[in-house]
Amino acid sequence: MQNNNPMTITEKIFALHSGKDYVKSGDLIEAKIDVVLANDITGPIAINVFNNIGAKEVFDKSRVILVPDHFVPNKDIKSAQQAKILRDFIKSKNLLYKFDVGTMGIEHALLPEKGIVTAGDLIIGADSHTCTYGALGAFSTGVGSTDLGCAIASGSTWFKVPSSVKVIFNGKLKKYVTAKDLILYLIGNIGVDGALYKTLEFSGSTISSLDMDGRFTVCNMAIEAGAKNGIIEPDEITKEYLKNRSVREPLYLKSDKDAEYEKIIEYDVSKIRPIVAYPHLPENTHTIDEAIKDNIKVNQVIIGSCTNGRLEDIKMAAEILKDKKVHPDVRLIIFPATQEIILKSIELGYYQTLIEAGAAISTPTCGPCLGGHCGVLAKDEVCISTTNRNFVGRMGHVDSKVYLSSPYIAAASAVLGRIGSPEEL
């Protein structure tokens, strides 16, 4: 892309997908979309919009992805009906990809794993955590089901180009400090609206040292700071991940050195301790040391979700739970994000470790993250979870409480019966 106007990686993706040489923050553009995504909650609404506008065919049978992952396997009649709408649409439109019980996974782990999303893509999904794919060097964001229904037919939609905030994490992580702690630390620092409709561009030596699982975690929670998208410039780790995986040729872009940022924030990660987000917002962050002093008893522990259900997360849990037992007052439920992660976890012995410790392991599903099923909380119950949100009633009863943490802290808490650290075991 030859021009005299420096751009960020996000602006470059928008320029390429809108047929322009240059875009800047604040521009209104119409852009072509590489992948359109919906699930069993948002998909039926989008399909209804598609039908109501008189559309007959989808814009591309290989780029419309419908993943029933929130209430599947179906928990009741209503969820069964929602999933059936997706299944019928996939069949009637002869979509290339069909994911269902036994082949599906949590959408934001499944699509990268299958190579359906790749570097340089522009992706929209009717789910706020679509921003996960920014870890690949793609622009990805959540939209409403109405916009998505129209995009299923047209293959394009409009955007306001966001301004960019560069977040630089430098230094070596302390033991038991993870990618989840980095993003929770940032949200605690800037607030849940600290990056409202902005790009969070993550960089620095710490980000460069993260594996792909960690990068997905960081970008997944960009929305929890209000961001339009999170993104990480692709590097050799990205390229190795996409090698022999991506179904399309990746486009590796980088921000220009003199690109314009609204703000640059820099952190020394050597000063960061494991983080716990208290109810009822991800910004309500405390160090693990504070949480230990508060002596917070837990009834349930969740490890999994689109945020922390990848292989590295299962590995962390198994590392802590090896030769230990879940506290008798605690229910520990593990949600691996895809079938492939399940197979690798079995092969590596993680499942045996977790089951021997007293954990229950689910098929891939969003499950209790949104109070769906497989772990809904009763009144006054307390859960520590590796999921992404802890709003009032998020995981069940409005008088329940959810704390957010990394898999290390969640697994240790399952053994201790209260929020605590692996250092205590």
Low-confidence ranges of the chain (pLDDT < 50): 1-2
What is the length of the chain?
A: 425
Domains in the chain: boundaries: 9-266, 276-424
Q: Are 144 and 240 in contact (CB under 8 A)?
A: no
Residue 2 has a pLDDT of: 46
- Distance CA(99)–CA(65), nearest Å, equals 9
CATH number of the 9-266 domain: 3.30.499.10
Pairing outcome for strands 263-268 and 229-232: unpaired
**Looking at domain 276-424, does it have CATH number 3.20.10.10?**
no
Residue 370 has a pLDDT of: 87
Q: Where are the beta strands (DSSP E) in 11-153?
A: 28-32, 35-39, 64-67, 122-125, 139-142
Q: In one letter, which amino acid is 82?
A: Q
Same fold? 9-266, 276-424: yes
Tell me what the pLDDT averaged over the chain comes to.
96
Residue 3 has a pLDDT of: 53
Alpha helices by DSSP H, listed for 169-248, are 179-190, 205-209, 212-220, 236-242
